[in-house]
Amino acid sequence: MSLESILPPERTLFGVPGGSKKRVLEFFSTFIAQNIPSLDSQEVFSRLIGRERLGSTGIGHGVAIPHSRNPHCKAPIAGFLKLDEPIDFDAIDGEPVDLVFVLLVPEEADDAHLALLGQVASVMNDAETRSALRRAGSQRELHDCLLEAIRRQAPAPSGRG
């Protein structure tokens, strides 16, 4: 399972209103529940907030990777939000966050979940990728930039051609 396959263009959101960590997670929870009827926005939100209470998912350099397990998730679901204004996310470096990569995984997910999370972290830890994402001027540019970064990070599958 690759990040590319679980992040369709319509879940790459550009110019999302920030405000606060809570507001951004509420916004995403409502958005994803409207897109995936099996998900309940309140449950998604409470699980994401619950995960944040264990420790911020703000990994530094203006990036956060909120994630949680969800019993109504049949397969991993990703979403990416570029905020119109950086917000305080209690990130490890104290910097405000403007790039938010959300990952929801099935309740029983294990190694696949960790592999996806690792993939997100390595994509978002790349300074060049972060700069390109911040320069993107539209939803399409943002998604194209993300896919390009994901493809650069992923090992090339064999037999492609």
Which is the catalytic residue, given 61, 67, 72, 143? 67
Q: What's the Cα-to-Cα distance from 83 to each of 27, 39, 70, 72, 136, rounded to whole Å? A: 11, 23, 24, 27, 12
DSSP string, 117-135: HHHHHHHHT-HHHHHHHHH
Catalytic: 143? Answer: no
Whether the CB-CB separation of 39 and 76 falls below 8 Å is answered with no
104: left (phi over 0), alpha (psi -120 to 50) or beta: beta
Neighbours of 156 (CB within 10 A): 6
Catalytic residues: 67
